[in-house]
Amino acid sequence: MVSTARTPGGARLARLGRGLLSHILLITVAALFALPFLWLLITSLKTRNQVFTDPLIWVPHPVMWSNYVEAVTAPGFPYLRLLGNTVFYTTMSTIGMVLSSTVVAYAFARMAFRGRDTLFGLTIATMLLPSVVLLIPTYVLFRTLGWVGSYLPLIAPMWLGGAFNIFLLRQFMLGIPNDLTDAARVDGAGDLTILWRVVVPLTRSAIIVVALLHFLWTWNDFMGPLIYLDEAAEAPLVLGLYTFRGTFGGQPEWHLMMAATMLAIAPIIVLFFFTQRYFIEGMTFTGLKGA
């Protein structure tokens, strides 16, 4: 007697069952990740009395779009100024990180010099140090330089590269055939020419991944601005949200805080939707090159 699972129809049903199970699992996990964001959005459209109710109100009535206007016009949350500070900090930091990490990764991947492997090992070893261990020494250093109270302690170190980004780009560059760079060198191209005209175009997907990851990390950075910035006029959005809590006095206005939070994360959500194709492509290719 022939087993049903071995017939074409049975195999097709088995594949459909596995596919359905996979989709159910993925939808469930995606829903769990999306639930906090959905709660944030719903709360931002509620009135104050609807925030904490039993049972929970999932559909606000009425929908309070005015919460966003009130949050932006609140004296403790100058949105446009905070947004400008965040864009400046994030852009300058990301540009520095991408440029410096690309140059250093090229040196480790394509240039032969004495002590190269040792220096690369030391660079990777810095990833083992917890950031809290370096917090006081770096603060003392920047205090001695007179940089505390400005964006210099937050931006300048990013122009010296990052260990993880250097490692990621180096692994990708190692996958580029040597024949391409050797041919350019035979034609008289120097290392800078080879880097910008040969290597960078071929590593574009990995560079986009580095840029996006660092951009998102910097946009959400709270500890750095809290430690090094003294003036409220220089604060980024994340720090502005923290000070927004005490704007109205007494208990926090949660519906207004959620509206302000939505305004703070809206730019990076828009950025992700416009760049998700490049991000996924870069992560896939980077994983293949590093394999």
Query: Which of 152, 119, 128 shows the shortest CA–CA distance to 138?
Result: 152
Check: CB of residue 241 under 8 Å from CB of residue 257.
yes
Which residues, at least 6 apart from 203, have a Cβ–Cβ distance to it below 8 Å?
102, 169, 172, 173, 176
Note whether 139 and 148 are within 8 A (CB).
yes
Of 67, 85, 107, the position where a domain reaches its end is 67
User: Which one, of 270, 267, 257, lies nearest residue 85 by Cα?
Assistant: 267
Together in a domain, 161 and 34: no
Has residue 78 got a pLDDT over 90? Answer: no
Same domain, 193 and 283: yes
CA separation (Å) from 17 to 21, 23, 25, 92, 270?
6, 10, 12, 50, 36
pLDDT band at residue 2 using 50, 70 and 90 as cut-offs: very low
Residues 41 and 87 in one domain: no
Q: Are residues 49 and 82 in the same domain?
A: no
Please identify, among 67, 101, 122, the residue that sits at the C-terminal boundary of a domain: 67
Same domain, yes or no, for 284 and 209? yes
CATH number at residue 123: 1.10.3720.10
Range of the domain at 282: 76-290
Output DSSP code: residue 167: H
Q: pTM for the full model? A: 0.83
64 or 13, higher pLDDT: 64
- 15, pLDDT greater than 90: no
Q: Give the chain's domain count.
A: 2
Residues 240 and 100 in one domain: yes
For residues 61 and 91, membership in a common domain is answered with no
Mean pLDDT confidence for 231-256: 80
Last residue of a domain, one of 67, 86, 121: 67
Whether residue 290 has pLDDT greater than 50 = no
Statement: residue 4 has pLDDT above 50: no
Mean pLDDT estimate for the chain: 86
Question: Is 3 a residue whose pLDDT tops 90?
Answer: no
